[in-house]
Amino acid sequence: MVGVGNPMRGDDGAGHAVVDELRRLAPAGVDLTTASGDAAELIESWSSAEHVIVVDASASGQPAGTVSHFDAVHEPVPARMRGSSSHGLGVGEAVELARAVGRLPARLEVYALEGRDFSSGAALSAEVLRAARALARGLAGSLSPTALDG
Amino acid sequence: MPDKGEGNGGSFTVSVEALARVEGEGGMWVAVRDGRVAEVKLNIYEPPRFFEGFMRGRRFNEAPDITARICGICPVAYQMSSCHAMEMACGVVVDGPLRSLRRLLYCGEWIESHALHVFMLHAPDFLGYESAIHMAQDHPEVVQTALKLKKVGNDILALLGGRAVHPINVRVGGFYRLPSKRQFAALLEPLEWARSACLETLDLAAGFDFPDFEQDYEFVALRHPDEYPFNEGRLVSDKGLDIDIEDYDAHFEEIHVEHSNALHARLKGRGNYFVGPLARYSLNFDRLSPLAQEAARRAGLEPVCRNPFKSILVRLVELVWACDEALRILGDVELPTTPSVPVEPRDGIGHGCTEAPRGILYHRYRIDAEGSILDATIIPPTSQNQPTIESDLARFVEQNLTLSHEDLTWQCEQAIRNYDPCISCATHFLELELVDADAEGD
């Protein structure tokens, strides 16, 4: 489970916030980590996992706090998830690069939390914080090793 | 997008609002009037981050960790320049095995930074792809090599720096903790693979088409009596500069231009200069390892390279050298007896100038006897290269007015990517001038 983003850029910290919540809620045996979003780092982070869940912030024009979910193994990353990183290669690029070179895990789910304010030093927006907590609670229930095997 | 040329007397603009495959956020704008380049702007609109301002009042030994946050790609460069500056201010020299391990850490950063640029950001330009993703469909082996190379660099950073991104194990005086000899030994095999992979890639890249674009730059880089430069040396140029880093201020200046949130640097009385792999290589070819020199010659490079489009070859030569140097250090690594030497603050000024992957990174700090930072100056390589990037754009457009608008725009972006600009680094600071409107009689 990888939370992606930069917590110093407001709602870009949504992925980290979900992981922070899960550190209290997730069952043992689930590997929780955070990443800045660099494509090579992400591909490396899931190289030894079978089932990976990535949570990142999105800026697609939906209401703040909206959660989108897609199965990255069976569908391409939506265009809105690509090219949004300030450092060139982000989550969308990591997924598509991994697909091209055969380094996708068996299961890869991506959750995108829509952000509103990405300014430097800002805190998470109230809507994003609520959505991050709700997503963490939902994921905690499905993150048992038995559920993951299924 | 405005049309090019026809029917308007050879007047047009070439513009890209958001540059692709560069670190950070910026654009470019070139205006041509009557067949001559009238104006060029490398627009740096990424917001400034005021690092120098908030360094004031912090402890001298916080500088490596704070300034490392300026860049996710080259944090080691910030740690090294700040450590050297603070050690100079405090009258301490870190030598012997600790110095070697610093060089090893820097090798890791060069490997991961150059691998990212060469394979993922720059290679698509030469192979005709819009991005690394498009390139990966046809050339998955290029991306596989890039990922594996980057991991080799990351592993060095993780081992010596504590983690691969924003390392936390570097301190003024050395390191917090040292790995074991067994952990160092685990780096040998991946580094040997990396060196071979870079040699093979260099041979392939030598066959790319390079625009004919040799320019009369003033190259500026560090030069050390015995080593290809990382942490130490005199600042030299191919046009007569040869100074101690303490004299940086007497020879260089920074100015603010309206279209950039990053200060432009220039040599006083001389103007533009060029820092980075091309400058480093051209001023230090004789300091490369024999293997790297031979690889460069086989790729068709002369000991001086003035074509920035060939920087992809030079970065590959530096990758070969960085692997070679890391293996050399690991081959006779002696673990230091302590992870760091004590550094006590004293009233003083310290300068640090090291070779970041993109060129010289200069730091200067003034601290008081208790170790508080009184003021800080940080001049990253991309700031220093901005005027040269703009002058390259002007010359490139003037030489290629017959290209289609699409090709010209594509190649202008490439002319910028030649420098591997790190806009995020460059915008660490903006001088703010507060004007009292009332006092001005508003």
* pLDDT per position as a tens digit, B221-243: 999 999 999 999 999 999 999 99
User: What is the model's pLDDT at position B192?
Assistant: 98
A101·B133 Cβ contact <8 A: no
What are the extents of the domains in chain A?
A: 2-149
> How far is B130 from A25, CA to CA, in rounded Å?
42
The string of pLDDT tens digits covering residues B135-179 is 999 999 999 999 999 999 999 999 999 988 889 999 999 999 999
| Burial environment of residue A14 by CB neighbours within 10 A (0 to 12, 13 to 18, 19 or more) | buried
Q: How far apart are CA B339 and CA B96, in angstroms?
A: 12
- Find the distance separating the first CA and the last CA of chain A, reported in whole Å: 16
Number of domains composing chain B: 1
Per the prediction, chain B carries an average pLDDT of 89
In this prediction, residue A145 has a pLDDT band, given cuts at 50, 70 and 90, of: low
- Give the pLDDT band of residue B14 (cuts 50, 70, 90): confident
Q: Residue B106: which domain range?
A: 51-386
Q: Of A23-32, A72-81, B33-42, which gets the smallest average pLDDT?
A: A72-81
- Strands B252-255 and B264-267 come out as antiparallel
Question: A116 to chain B nearest CA, in Å?
Answer: 18
Alpha-carbon distance A5 to nearest alpha carbon in chain B (angstroms): 13
Chain A residues with CB-CB distance to B424 below 8 A: 86-87
- Flag the least confident range among A35-39, A94-98, A124-128: A35-39
Q: How far apart are CA B231 and CA B353, in angstroms?
A: 7
- Phi/psi at A30 (nearest 5 deg)? -95, 125
The percentage of chain B sitting over the pLDDT mark of 70, rounded to a whole number, equals 91
Record the tokens describing residue B251, joined without a space. Answer: 């020879």
* Cα–Cα distance for residue pair A135/B84, rounded to 1 Å: 46
All residues of chain B having their beta carbon less than 8 Å from the beta carbon of residue A34 are none
pLDDT at A150: 41
SS3 at position A67: strand
The rounded distance, in Å, linking the Cα atoms of B128 and B135 is 8
Contact status, residue A81 vs residue A72, Cβ threshold 8 Å: no
Burial status of residue B441 (CB atoms within 10 A of its CB: 0-12, 13-18, 19 or more) = exposed
Report whether pLDDT(B437) > 60. Answer: no
Name the amino acid, one letter, at B330.
L
Fold of A2-149: Rossmann fold (3.40.50)
Please indicate whether, in this complex, the C-beta atoms of A100 and B136 are within 8 angstroms of each other. Answer: yes
CB contact under 8 A, A87 and B144: no
Note whether residue B407 is domain-resident.
no
What local confidence, expressed as pLDDT, does residue B353 receive?
98
CA distance A17 to B434: 38
A32: left (phi over 0), alpha (psi -120 to 50) or beta: beta
Inter-residue contact B172 to B62 (CB < 8 Å): no
| Cβ atoms of B276 and B359 closer than 8 Å | yes
Kindly determine whether residue A97 and residue B22, on different chains, have CB atoms separated by under 8 Å. Answer: no
Which percentage of chain B shows pLDDT scores above 90? 69
How many whole angstroms separate alpha carbon B392 and alpha carbon B309? 11
Q: Is B418's pLDDT higher than 80?
A: yes
> Could you give the ipTM of this predicted complex?
0.76
In this predicted structure, what is the pLDDT of residue B430?
A: 29
Angle at B141 between CA B307 and CA B312, to 5 degrees: 10
**Minimum Cα–Cα distance from A86: chain B residue:** B24
Helices (H), A46-122: 91-100
Phi and psi, residue B231, nearest 5°: -100, -20
B150: chain A residues, CB-CB within 8 Å? 40
Task: Pick the most confident of B29-43, B249-263, B295-309, B333-347.
Answer: B295-309
**Whole-number Å distance between alpha carbons of B97 and B88:** 19
Which of A57, A65, A132 lies closest to A92, judged by CA? A57
> What per-residue confidence (pLDDT) applies to B21?
64
CA distance B417 to chain A (A): 12
The CATH number of the domain holding residue B369 is 1.10.645.10
